[in-house]
Structure 1
């Protein structure tokens, strides 16, 4: 018995599962899983940035501020505030990520509908949907990546500002 595929319009045997389409679907899922790992890794790095900033500021800032506030102290404090703002941006909960499908939507689209859907057609449609989800996720990830890079540069500048403040106070 054959049926007409929803996606291609071609007649396919019932229960037909094209191994090529299944492979592409599995690769799409693997890519989405790796992308989710990137997001989790960036959250971990943001946590490490919090620790490094707190450690450097407490160690160097305490020494630099012992003699009052000078120009370099104000620069370091401003950089500290900038880093804090970027950390908040990095850790703010985003709800625009898409890493999984809605089961109710899948049931209504592929199981409970009037049209029979083959596994190959499902895999093809879902792989294309994963591609679109990955592109949308990537836009958010790129903004977070840039924010993390800027925060790391600000941390380096913050450490330098604290060191300059200490040297200036020692004169």
Structure 2
């Protein structure tokens, strides 16, 4: 029995490098973090919709009661710009990569002529996760910039409504 455990232990050492397992788990944790960032951005975009609707209904109604002036048109144009950025942020065309295709994994690591060892799988998948994270990060940065621009436009929108109300 001790001989069997020793043989099993040597196979595990060759096959399962705990460092690679740790690196893989950290890569997955990083990918999970990215997915949480995307979900957070969607929540912020939803909050932006509410804030925009609230500010425009409250201030726009008051400003437009006096007719359409220059600042009213500016505010309406800013409202459409904010709406366009929100659509950009929430439209589901972004190609994030947060998961692996099980069929592809089976074909690549299990069903082939030489099934891969766990260490080789951990290494290959950790590197693939890194590539996926880089691609995801490009999308996340564009969405973050769109959110920042939309928030700035919301402030300008509120200012335009206030100037319209003041009759400037």
Q: State the TM-score, normalizing by the size of structure 2.
A: 0.91
Q: CA deviation at 1:94?
A: 2.5
Give yes or no for contact 1:64–1:166 (8 Å, CA) kept in 2: yes
Which digits, 9 at most, give the CA deviation of each residue in 1:110-139, with x for residues without a partner? 110001311111000000000000000111
**Paired residues of 1:46 and 1:90 also in contact (CA < 8 A):** yes
Is residue 166 from structure 1 mapped to residue 156 from structure 2 by the alignment? no
CA distance in 1, matches of 2:21, 2:83: 45
The answer for unaligned runs of 5 or more in structure 1 is 1-12
Change (3 A) 1:143 1:95: closer
The correspondence of residues 3-18 of structure 1 with structure 2, limited to 5 A, is 14-15=11-12, 16-18=15-17
Q: Quote the offset at 1:48 in angstroms.
A: 0.3
Q: Which position in structure 2 is the counterpart of 1:47?
A: 46
- The number of residues matched between the two structures is 157
Structure 2 distance, partners of 1:86, 1:155, is 11
Q: Deviations over 1:18-72 (max 9, x none)?
A: 0100000000000000000000000000000000000000000000000100111
Greater helix fraction, Structure 1 or Structure 2 = 2
Within 5 Å, give how 1:1-171 maps onto structure 2. Answer: 14-15=11-12, 16-168=15-167
Give a deviation string over 1:70-126, Cα, whole Å, max 9, x none.
111011001001000001001100341000000000000111000131111100000
* Contact 1:14–1:118 (Cα < 8 Å) also in 2: no
Q: Which 5+ residue runs of structure 2 have no aligned equivalent? A: 1-9
> Corresponding residue for 1:6?
none
Q: Any runs of at least 4 consecutive aligned residues in structure 1 with deviations exceeding 4 A, and if so which?
A: none
